[in-house]
Amino acid sequence: MMEPGIHSLLHSASKPLGQPAVLTSAARQILVINAKGGCGKTTIATNLASYYARQGCRTALIDHDPQGSAMQWLSLRDKHYHAIYGVSSNRPVIGGVTRSFVMRVPPDTERAVLDAPAGVQGHQLIELMRDVDAILIPVLPSPIDIHAASRFIRDLLLVAKVRSRNIRVGVIANRVRENTRVYQSLEKFVASLNIPFVARLRDTQNYVRAAEIGVGVHDLKRTGVNQDQRQWEALIRWVEQR
């Protein structure tokens, strides 16, 4: 369970870091990434972080995007909700302090969720995946997005060599509408690579509403939101598999 002190930890990266420790392999790290913009990376990263926090898990949210959307989300979060420790990789490095120091999280962090920017490739991709346990790739139901995702998954396997690093990869069909069959080609492609579809999240204003107040769909009490909360069950089970 969450210790009392965690509630008073940072709600935004703009505050001083206190006595944090480098993000170590002790914290399970989940990277949400896709080279394609606007597919739901920040939405999934923030919802996953708030799910863990709600479970009493000591949670960090690490924003690697210069747009700072994940930290913006965190800044909207009311103190009443379980705290999430926010770190921005774009925080200025000053006074001889190293980047790895700035990127530190508390030593007892249990889950770290990393929000990647769009367009990551090559060396930056390898850097981002350094200590990651699992990768979630959100994909929108459009032919352009599906084509881009296939290319990105190829990069993950060939350039970043996720398999030889024992990093698990799962695809999330995001903003799914009823009876959509558009994912078929991607499902076939990822199945041929032995990569699972770990969740199908529907297109709903519940995600927009949650983002407006710095929470996730698990924190909402609106009619119909149970359906969205249930769609996360398989995803969480998959992430939590050892």
Ligand X SMILES: Nc1ncnc2c1ncn2[C@@H]1O[C@H](COP(=O)(O)OP(=O)(O)OP(=O)(O)O)[C@@H](O)[C@H]1O
Least distance (Å) between residue 92 CB and Mg ion: 20
| φ, ψ of residue 89 in degrees (nearest 5) | -75, -5
Task: Give the footprint of Mg ion on residues 38-67 (CB under 5 A).
Answer: 41-42
Partner that binds at residue 207, options ligand X, Mg ion, none, CB closer than 5 to 8 Å by kind:
ligand X
Partner that binds at residue 148, options ligand X, Mg ion, none, CB closer than 5 to 8 Å by kind:
none
Least distance (Å) between residue 116 CB and ligand X: 8
Q: Which is closer to Mg ion, CB of 65 or CB of 219?
A: 65
Binding mask 66-105 for Mg ion (x = CB under 5 A): ---x------------------------------------
Q: Which is closer to ligand X, CB of 163 or CB of 202?
A: 202
Least distance (Å) between residue 180 CB and ligand X: 13
By CB under 6 A, name the binding residues for ligand X: 37-43, 65, 67, 69, 117-118, 174-175, 201, 203-204, 207-208, 211
- Nearest 5°: the CA angle 168, 240, 158 is 5
Q: Which is closer to ligand X, CB of 110 or CB of 203?
A: 203
87-92 LR contacts (CB < 8 Å, sep 24+):
87/13, 87/60, 87/61, 87/62, 87/63, 88/13, 88/62, 88/63, 89/62, 89/63, 89/64, 90/63, 90/65, 90/66, 91/13
Least distance (Å) between residue 218 CB and ligand X: 14
Q: Which is closer to ligand X, CB of 17 or CB of 236?
A: 236
Under the rule (CB under 5 A), what is the footprint of Mg ion?
41-42, 69
